[in-house]
Each structure stands twice: as structure tokens, then as C-alpha cells.
Structure 1
Amino acid sequence: MESYIAIGVLVAQAVIMLSLGIGLEVQDFKRVASRPYVFAVALLTQLTVLPALAYLTIILFNFKPIFAAGLMLLSFCPGGVTSNIISKLSKADVAFSVSLTAILSIVSFITVPPLIAWSIEHFMGSEALPFSFMQLTLITFLITTTPVLTGVFIRHNYMEFAKNIEVTLEKVAIVLWVVIVTGAVAKTFDILVENFKIIGLGLMFLPFAMMVIGLVISRLFSLSIKESKTLAIEASIQNSPMAITLAATISGGMVINELALPAAVYSMTMYLVALPFIFIYRSWNEESPYKKAASN
């Protein structure tokens, strides 16, 4: 039975990423090339500041080793479909959000596995869960890189078909996202209740701090208001289903356990934190220079 659940989780994550890719056009990647400075700031924030703050969160809230490894795993994952939705609700730069998420997802099979391997060894030591690095890399490639590129291919070669299924696929992706997160919470509910005081506070602190730090960094580097909002959202809203899927893979037999708990809890706390920011961000509005540059 668990093998079927494991396969279902992998397929669900792949469909979620396919829904991201099928909404992308080659022009979206050209937008990144049009403003490399903006992309570089966002990339550095996502790949360095977020993991560093996750590490600080672990220390401040005294996470036990397996929760620490799980939180670091989550911090290495890129944003997801829901970060793009929040960008849209916040009147941020959706084109920038989608492009950044897509590129980070495409290269994640290179960046994520070695960082996960390091964090598990660092925090868990002799208690580290044995897993195949190559298997983790392959699964990351299959559930992130491959579906995103497949979606881009379909969009580029079968535009009308892609447009016809895009909205439906987005809805399916949201449902699958809820199923994965709910399943992870249900599977680890007793552990969650036992550790909620530490886990809950730490995972409220992290997205709030990243939202604020993301704004500060983007304004220090003179990004536009829309770009600043987008960077802050991308830095604080992570791809929880991806983290849960990889945690299940690492845990042996693909059984969702304590390693996935931080991602499951974060998938709830990050939206609680994001909600007031959405209302604040909606009062800021301007045309994005990123979008202007792409149209020139």
C-alpha cells in the first residue's frame, strides 16, 4: 500500500511542476536575460540568505536534529506554484515570480541533493538516515526539472492545447498540493502536537523574517516596488510538496515521517504570515521595469 502512496506523491509533485511549466513561454526566460541584475539579487537571496536564516532558526528555537535537517531541506527547495499565486494577489511582478521559480526548479537537481546530503550529515551525524545520493538526484530531476521543461515544450509547440488545459491543470495542482500537505500533517500529527510549541514558533518566525529581509535586501539594491514584493514572496514561500516528497524519499521506503514535518507545518504558517502582507502589498503598485525591459 505504501508503495502506491509513494508513487502517487511523486506523480502529484510532477503534475504540480508541469502546471508551472505549461504556463511558461520562451519569452519568460528572455525576461531574466533582460534584467540579470534583478535575477542575481533574487537568486542570492534564495540560495544564501534563506538557508542561513533557516540555520539561525534551528539554533534560536532549538530544533532537534531530524527537524533541523527537515527545515534545511525545505530551505533548499525553490518557490512553487503557490508563490506565483501570492505574487498575483499581491499585485507583484508575476512574470518575474514565474521565471525565477521555473529557473530555480530546473537547476534544482544540481543544487538541492548535495545540500540536503550535507544538512542530514551535519545535523544527524551517526543517526543520519541512509539514502542513495544518486537516487535523490534522479528523483529531484524527475519531479521538478523534467515536468517544468515538458510544460515549456508543450507550450512552445502546442500553444492552443496548452492554453486550453492551463487553468484546469492549475486547479488540479492546487488540489494535489493540498492532498500532499494534508497527508504529511495527518501522518505526523502526533509528533506535531508533541513538538508544536517549538516547531510552530520557529516556522512562524522564518517566513516572517524572510518576508521582511527580502524587502530590505531588494530596496537596498534599488529594485522596483513590484520586484521587491516579488523577491520577498519568493524568499518566504517555499515548495513544501517538493520538500515533503524528497523527505519521504530519504526516509526509506518513501514513508512520510519526522523529516517531512517542518515542510508540512511551514506550508501552513507561511500562508498565515503571507496573508497580512498581501493586503499591505496590494496598496503598492507600479509598472515593473522588468516587464518593460522584456517588451523592448
Structure 2
Amino acid sequence: MITQAALPLALAFIMFAMGLTMDGRDFKTVFGHPRAMAVGLAAKLVLLPALGLALVLAWKPEPDFAVGMILLAACPAGVTSALLTHHAGGRIALAATITALTSLAATLTVPLLVNVGLALFAGYDRSVEIPVAKMTLGIFLVDTVPLALGLGIQRLWPRAAARLGRVARPVATLLFALIVVGAFVSQRQALIDHVHDVVPAALALNLAAMTGAWMLGALARLELADRIAVVMENGLQNGALGIFVAVTLLGNPAMMVPSIVYAFVMNLTALAFIWAVKRRRVVTG
């Protein structure tokens, strides 16, 4: 189900749809109160990769899975983060801003961190070609360019963007689901063989990322709505990008296994978090 042609096109559409649904006026509000944005970016760009590296060092998985976990931790927020932030009562504009900025930064951060993972964990007994230029260009074309295009249409033709967004967002969510399911089918034997290794590691990374983001938000004394957005952004990863980099740019399907597993795990924990936040509001009411 996953092909080298269909996967980048699907991911590009997902990023385009994300850009269409972002309102520039919301960004002004977020940038006017930058503390929450700074906390969110610190959690996403510093804390999460550090947690991924620490987990791999402690877990000591097979080299391909180790690089796959580093790749996953380097990815920006997932396409469903703003939607689930909304359901949790978080600040959507903050979530959208963090998603946009980390997606733009992915052109630099993903190749950098993946190359660190390749050097540390995959090159110990064999020569590994690190495709820096290819990876950077590929991420730029399927991640940054479509996002910027969607933002540009939203800025210049907001009514057209709104109409397109109403259709594009559910299609993007469906495409994300198909990518994950397709990746699962293509790697089902690897998942079955390593379920006891990969699932606990993915769950541990997800819970550590969400807990760490919550603690950072508490230390910064963020409002609850901002803290919820930061937690969601740190817990929900762009697994489609992780799959794309592993399959298309690195040519190593085994490296996408952590992204597949995490894509399932993160949505379960996000739903649990939404339930807990709503229950807290009812109790404190």
C-alpha cells in the first residue's frame, strides 16, 4: 500500500491541508504572548529529542529501530494535534503555531538528528551513506513547501482556503490513517516479531514527552489552555513524515517501525488525556 510515489504525495497534501486551516490572526495572538510558544518549542525541539536519545541508550534496541526512534523523536507534531487540542479545550492557535514552526524547522532538525542516530547506532560495523542533501531537500519539498503554500492561500484568499480546508482536513486525516495502516501491513511481521520491544518503548517515549511538557508548562505557570496545547503538541508526532524519511529517503523500511507503533499509541494516550482533562474540569467545576 505504501509506494515511493504515493507516500510523499500524501504527506504533501496533509501539510497543505494543515496550512489551509491556520488563521494568521491567531498567530498574532500567540506571538503577542510568547512565553507559551517558547515553552512549546523548547519541549518539541529540545526535550523530546533528548528523551528519544535517552530512551534508545537505555533500551539498546537493534540499530534500525534505534535510528527509527531518533527519527520519530525528531519529527514535528502530527496532523491531528490541533483537532485533539480543540477537543481537550486547549488553545488551538498555540498548537497550530508550534506545529507550523516545528514543521518548517524539520528541514534542518530531522536530517541533523537522524544523522546523529545513524552515526551512533547504525555505523558501528558497516559503512553508512548519510544522505544529508537528499533528506533535507525531500523534507523541504513534502513538508515545508506544501505548508507554506497552504498558509499563502489562507493569507491571500481566506474564503477559498476555508472552503478548501473543510474538505482537505478530513481527507488529510484519512490519508494519515491510510499511511499508518499501509505501513502496518507492509511491516506486520516485523511488528509481530518485536512487539514486546517496540510497543513499551513507544509508550514510554510518549508518556515521558507528555509528562515532561506538562511539567514545563507548570514551571512556566502557563494557563491551562496553553498547557494542554503544549502537551498535545509534544505527545502527537508526524508519524507520516517518519515513515516517509525511513522508506523513501533512507530506503530502510525497518526504521519506520517505531513511527508505526507510535502512531497507534499516541492517539490512545491523547484520548486518555482528553478524558482526564474533561474529568478534572467537571470535578473542579
Q: Do these two structures clear the TM 0.5 threshold for a shared fold by scoring above it?
A: yes
- In 1, Cα distance between the equivalents of 2:64 and 2:73? 14
The runs of 5 or more residues in structure 1 that have no matched partner are: 286-296
- In 1, Cα distance between the equivalents of 2:176 and 2:127? 28
Letter paired with 2:176: W
Structure 2 residue 281 is matched with structure 1 residue 281: no
- In 1, Cα distance between the equivalents of 2:160 and 2:237? 29
Could you tell me which residue of structure 1 aligns to residue 143 of structure 2?
144
- In 1, Cα distance between the equivalents of 2:268 and 2:113? 28
Structure 2 residue 248 is matched with structure 1 residue 245: no
- In 2, Cα distance between the equivalents of 1:45 and 1:179? 28
- In 1, Cα distance between the equivalents of 2:257 and 2:128? 15
- In 2, Cα distance between the equivalents of 1:191 and 1:120? 20
How many residue pairs were aligned?
A: 280
Letter paired with 1:272: L
Percent identical pairs in the alignment equals 28
Paired residues of 1:62 and 1:198 also in contact (CA < 8 A)? no
Give the counterpart of 2:25 among 5, 13, 27: 27
1:1-296 matched pairs, under 5 angstroms: 5-125=3-123, 126-127=125-126, 129-252=128-251, 257-283=253-279
The runs of 5 or more residues in structure 2 that have no matched partner are: none
Paired residues of 1:24 and 1:155 also in contact (CA < 8 A)? yes
Deviations along 1:127-154, one digit per CA (max 9) or x if unpaired, are 4653421111111101111011100111
Letter paired with 2:100: A
Q: 1:13 to 1:95 in 2, by over 3 A?
A: same
Paired residues of 1:225 and 1:284 also in contact (CA < 8 A)? no
Structure 1 residue 284, shift from structure 2 partner: 5.3
- In 2, Cα distance between the equivalents of 1:26 and 1:65? 42
Give the secondary structure class of the aligned counterpart of 1:79: coil
Deviations along 1:143-175, one digit per CA (max 9) or x if unpaired, are 111011100111111222111111110111011
Cα-Cα RMSD: 1.7
Paired residues of 1:129 and 1:250 also in contact (CA < 8 A)? no
Give the structure-1-normalised TM-score.
Answer: 0.90
Paired residues of 2:134 and 2:249 also in contact (CA < 8 A)? no
Deviations along 1:80-125, one digit per CA (max 9) or x if unpaired, are 2211111011111111101110111122212221221121111111
- In 2, Cα distance between the equivalents of 1:169 and 1:86? 17
Paired residues of 1:21 and 1:148 also in contact (CA < 8 A)? yes
Could you tell me which residue of structure 2 aligns to residue 293 of structure 1?
none
- In 2, Cα distance between the equivalents of 1:16 and 1:135? 21
